[in-house]
Structure 1
Amino acid sequence: MSAKPNKSIFLADDDADDCMLFEDALREVSTSTELITANDGVELINLMETTVPPPPDVIFLDLNMPRKNGFECLEQIRNTKAWEAIPVVIFSTTGQEEMVRKVHAQGANYFIRKPGSFLKLKQVIKQMLDIDWTKHNWKPVAGNFYYQY
């Protein structure tokens, strides 16, 4: 029997290359973290309905996805009693202030603009994994919400 992973991450992103890069970076940062990917928001919600509990330690959520976008997923996660406390990190190519404000108001924990380098991606993933989400204030103040790297 294999050991239970230290952490479990869900990643919802419709870009296959971004998913592969994320997985490669995660493997270099932590070999004991389980990564489960969804290709769009509908797949993420189906995954949540069939596997939670136990909840993932954190969800990385892209905003621009087909069928059900990140805004719709975040709203559903925050309005579902069994999921409402799961940390959600928005992980998107957009950095528009209006989008950042919107997902902050919806209850996301962090907003990270997808980094342009593999090294920065590894740093961002490591920082998110290092957070003790059980002690972290899950509703961050606006000034600490948009992660700058």
Structure 2
Amino acid sequence: MIHDKNIVEILLVDDDQDDRSIFSDALSELKIETSLNMLEDGRDLVAYLEDTKNKRPDILFLDLNMPYKSGVECLKEIRTIDKFKDLSVAIYSTSNSEKDMEDTFINGANIYIRKPNDFTQLKKVLTEVLSINWQFHTSALNKETFLLNI
């Protein structure tokens, strides 16, 4: 099967079943073709990424507050692996903590998204994030472009 590059490959790592479900529902309503895979926590993230049977995601949405392995721990681990240094990572969290934003910025996340409380806002955020030219965005990464405000 030939991989269709018009489809955005997304991996969501989030321990909250409701958040995963809402994320999936919002994606399905976008005008952007996506393929979504989900993990419940970060324990199997690197194994998933390393498995050649899985398609490499175009973007990884990573929750911060998860049991077993936090989003920051996952991010640090991913960034130590050469072939994942250029993987686009969006932190997707309820946290408004400046420390969390600083930690994820320093450790190589590409963007920080606060989980919207509203379904319409979530669709707007996802459309915005999936429309970013990541090659350009990451080359000009700074704190002003790091936090997504919609």
- Matched-pair contact (CA < 8 Å) for 1:108–1:139: no
Pairwise CA RMSD of aligned residues? 2.0
* Contact residue 48 and residue 54 of structure 2 kept, 8 A: no
Identity %: 38
Compared CA separation, residues 127 and 96, structure 1 to 2 (3 A): same
Aligned length: 149
Match of 1:61 in 2: 62
Partner of 1:124, secondary structure, is helix
Instruction: Look up the equivalent residue of 1:95 and give its one-letter code.
Output: N
Distance 2:28 2:52 in 1: 22
Deviation per CA, 1:13-44: give whole Å up to 9, x if none. Answer: 00000000000000101462100001000122
Q: List runs of 5+ in structure 2 lacking aligned partners.
A: none
Q: What is the TM-score when the length of structure 1 is the normalising length?
A: 0.91
Aligned counterparts of 1:95 and 1:13: Cα–Cα separation in 2: 17
TM-score (norm 2): 0.91
Cα separation, 1, equivalents of 2:73 and 2:94: 17
Match of 2:85 in 1: 84
Q: Is 1:131 the equivalent of 2:117?
A: no
Structure 1 gap segments, 5+ residues each: none
Are residue 107 (structure 1) and residue 108 (structure 2) matched? yes
- The whole-number CA distance in structure 2 between the counterparts of 1:52 and 1:142 is 35
Q: CA deviation at 1:52?
A: 7.8
| Cα distance in 2, alignment partners of residues 106 and 117 from structure 1 | 29
Task: List per-residue Cα deviations over 1:21-71 (Å, max 9, x = no partner).
Answer: 000000101462100001000122221121488521100000011111100
